Amino acid sequence: METPSGLVEGIEVLVPLWGSCRVQARLNTPVGQDKVKSRGTRKLENSGVHMKRCWKKLCAATQIASAAVFIVLLAGAGTDCLARQALVGTDVRMDDVTDFYYTYSTSTSPPHYQRYRFYINGKERMFYHETREGGGWPQTEKDITESGSRPLSEAEWTEFFECLKGGIVKDRVEHLEDGDAGPWLFLYWKGDHGKCQEFFFASPAARFAFEELCERLRKGC
């Protein structure tokens, strides 16, 4: 394309972007007029700066919108099992607990099975224990060597709950661990929605205190 003498072929780009942002280059800048050329260059550079600012604003707006959607979804999920995880002692109160299972099961020779259960039976708070030993694997009710149950006092139920405090309860998931003896822990409570029931002690010390309590209660059955 030919241009008039003394002129350089130019390109004009007008790209509307989010309102005021655009890129503009001057057409046919006269040769030798450095000042005009400089102004055109500055306009192009300034346009690039504006585009970067607009991009940053768009990114910030997207992040805010995403956060808002997350908050709405979280609020809609309810507070019974917040984000599929609940803290015992805060989200799960003592009066919320309806059933708790502790099960240890190993196939080692000889195989051994131990279960402790704390549960509500009518208006009574109960404790149950069961031991299975010997026999083949997996062990069945025919292998039970010791079992028993007894009602719990207010103080004993409180001590049980104190062992759970600080622990967390999450959604149940399928465990494919081969040969893991456990213990497997499940807490049933008002607000678990039939799923938020897998329990984890706050610490090894809390688990040890629970097992000691069970041994004391077991002797009283």
Question: Do 96 and 189 share a domain, yes or no?
Answer: yes
Q: Which residue has the higher pLDDT, 9 or 39?
A: 39
Q: Which domain holds residue 49?
A: 1-76
The number of CA neighbours under 13 Å toward the Cβ of 111 is 18
Rounded to 10 degrees, the C-alpha dihedral 166/172/178/184 comes to 40
Q: In this model, does residue 168 exceed pLDDT 80?
A: yes
Its pTM surpasses 0.75: no
pLDDT in tens, 57-86: 655 555 655 554 444 344 444 444 545 799
Q: Taking a C-beta distance cutoff of 8 angstroms, is the pair 120, 99 a contact?
A: yes
Question: Do 43 and 101 share a domain, yes or no?
Answer: no
Question: 11-20, 109-118, 143-152 — which is least confidently predicted?
Answer: 11-20
Question: Do 125 and 207 share a domain, yes or no?
Answer: yes
pLDDT in tens, 36-62: 444 544 544 555 555 556 556 655 555
The contacts of residue 43 (CB under 8 Å, 6+ apart) are 24, 25, 26
Question: Do 37 and 103 share a domain, yes or no?
Answer: no
Domain endpoint, select from 25, 59, 76: 76
Confidence at 181, pLDDT banded by 50, 70, 90: confident
Question: Do 151 and 60 share a domain, yes or no?
Answer: no
Number of domains in the chain: 2
